[in-house]
């Protein structure tokens, strides 16, 4: 355990690792130390997601999400091509199943065009020609959406960072610390570390890190578990594209989608229910501190009040498999209860404001010598490389 470093980065998910690599490329002689509490990188959100390289269809024009996602698609593909990580550009169909969804699809189409994302409107007939196993009244085709294993991307980033002289301290938890006029002291489970600058990419613990280091933040991370199922008993050509429902603007997440996996086969998911533990992946995982943190936060209750219907719907789908199946059968009747096999779940770190509003865009908060990544939900895996560049720019600008 070193006692001092030039730059300390907390969090070995894809955002922390992309930041570490970018800092290193701009400061090859600096000492850069990445601290990760687990025994290997990418065990949380980065290793438990849909694996979709999002094209950038959904995000508000002008938002950081729209900007970084558009840059991230190409940056991710270039990184993977350079380092031999397989990707597939299989394209995505966003499928409407009734008139109301067709209307909402028009808004989505305009948003994609405003973001400069290639998008094509398909009639029901054209969509069925592309995907005979899908029921739809009309669809949007996003040809540039693709898939990758983000954990493999993060592992490669970790390997490059250490090979180029960076330090990764695994099984080392940052427990607190403080910032002086000169530097930042990180208290860790292996002793203190003094850093010239610090970046915190702690995902599900972003709010705790920010508060521990004196950043003035009002939001709280609310953990939303997403359950997936693997699809068995179905042919390899069940669908050629990723199949997404038209998102409901009343709900914060994209809806249960049918996704091709890099190692073959398909999954459906993720659902969205309050997780009993920030890193609790089982239906009944419980961490009293985490649960109390959500339940004692007025913002959570305000969010729940606004979304009571969808919260009950998501909870019942999480508990009753046949309810979950209905979400999939809405657009793919071929999938039956027997086809849904258990698959690892993920927990999203979603920042919620005190008024109960989901903080939609990426959020970064800076203090004198630190930068906190406060909200980096989807598509932050796709966007990690430009996010890393942005963090480095901000950090060096404040030097």
Binding to ligand FAD (CB under 6 A) within 198-227 occurs at 201-205, 226
Cβ of residue 189: shortest distance to ligand FAD, in angstroms? 8
Among residues 341, 381, 378, the alpha carbon closest in space to that of 361 is found at: 378
Binding mask 104-143 for ligand FAD (x = CB under 6 A): ----------------------------------------
15 near ligand FAD, rule: CB under 6 A: yes
378 near ligand FAD, rule: CB under 6 A: yes
DSSP string, 231-277: E-SS-TTS-SSEEEEPPPTTSSS---EEEE-TTSSEEEE---EE-SS
Nearest residue by C-beta to ligand FAD? Answer: 13
Among residues 185, 186, 160, the alpha carbon closest in space to that of 37 is found at: 186
Looking at beta carbons only, is 14 or 363 nearer to ligand FAD?
14
Q: Is 342 exposed, middle or buried (0-12, 13-18, 19+ CB in 10 A)?
A: exposed
Tokens describing residue 349 = 């770190």
Binding to ligand FAD (CB under 6 A) within 35-64 occurs at 35-38, 43-46, 48-52, 54
Q: How many residues does the chain have?
A: 399
350 near ligand FAD, rule: CB under 6 A: no
Kindly state the helix (H) or strand (E) to which residue 108 belongs, with its residue range. helix 99-114
Looking at beta carbons only, is 111 or 372 nearer to ligand FAD?
372
Binding to ligand FAD (CB under 6 A) within 250-289 occurs at 270
Separation of alpha carbons 64 and 361, rounded Å: 6
Please give the distance of CA 78 from its chain centroid, rounded to a whole number.
20
Cβ of residue 255: shortest distance to ligand FAD, in angstroms? 12
Cβ of residue 123: shortest distance to ligand FAD, in angstroms? 27
Looking at beta carbons only, is 138 or 228 nearer to ligand FAD?
228
Among residues 384, 147, 358, 315, the alpha carbon closest in space to that of 244 is found at: 147
Cβ of residue 304: shortest distance to ligand FAD, in angstroms? 20
Cα 170–Cα 173–Cα 175 angle in degrees, nearest 5: 165
Residues that bind ligand FAD (CB under 6 A): 10-16, 35-38, 43-46, 48-52, 54, 173-174, 201-205, 226, 270, 346-348, 373, 376-382
């Amino acid at each position: 355990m070193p006692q001092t470093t030039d730059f300390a980065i907390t969090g070995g998910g894809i955002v922390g690792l992309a930041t570490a690599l970018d800092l290193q490329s701009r400061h090859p002689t600096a000492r850069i130390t990445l601290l990760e509490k687990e025994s290997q990188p990418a065990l949380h959100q980065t290793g438990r997601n849909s694996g979709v390289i999002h094209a950038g269809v959904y995000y508000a024009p002008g938002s950081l999400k729209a900007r970084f996602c558009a840059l991230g698609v190409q940056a991710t593909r270039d990184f993977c091509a350079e380092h031999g990580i397989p990707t597939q550009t299989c394209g995505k169909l966003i499928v409407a199943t009734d008139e109301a969804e067709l209307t909402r699809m028009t808004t989505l189409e305009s948003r994609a065009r405003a973001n400069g994302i290639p998008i094509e409107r398909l009639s029901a007939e054209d969509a069925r020609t592309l995907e005979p196993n899908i029921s739809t009244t009309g669809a949007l085709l996003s040809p540039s959406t693709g898939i990758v294993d983000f954990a493999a991307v993060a592992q490669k980033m970790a390997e490059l960072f250490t090979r180029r002289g960076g330090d990764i301290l695994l099984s080392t938890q940052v427990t607190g610390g403080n910032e002086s006029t000169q530097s930042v002291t990180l208290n860790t489970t292996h002793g203190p570390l003094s850093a010239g600058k610090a970046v915190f990419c702690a995902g599900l613990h972003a709010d705790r890190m920010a508060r521990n280091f004196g950043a003035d933040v009002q939001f709280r991370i609310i953990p939303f578990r997403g359950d997936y199922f693997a699809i068995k008993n179905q042919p390899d050509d069940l669908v050629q594209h990723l199949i997404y429902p038209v998102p409901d603007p009343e709900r914060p997440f994209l809806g249960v989608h049918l996704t091709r996996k890099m190692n073959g086969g398909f999954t459906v998911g993720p659902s969205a229910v309050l997780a009993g533990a920030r890193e609790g992946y089982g239906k009944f995982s419980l961490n009293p501190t985490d649960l109390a943190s959500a339940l004692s936060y007025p913002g959570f209750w305000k969010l729940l009040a606004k979304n009571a219907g969808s919260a009950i719907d998501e909870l019942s789908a999480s508990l009753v498999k046949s309810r979950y199946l209905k979400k999939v059968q809405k657009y793919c009747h071929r999938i039956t209860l027997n086809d849904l096999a258990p698959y690892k779940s993920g927990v999203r770190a979603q920042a919620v404001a005190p008024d109960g509003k989901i903080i939609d865009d990426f959020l970064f908060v800076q203090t004198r010598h630190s930068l906190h990544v406060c909200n980096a939900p989807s598509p932050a895996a796709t966007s990690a490389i430009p996010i890393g560049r942005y963090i480095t720019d901000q950090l060096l600008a404040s030097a």
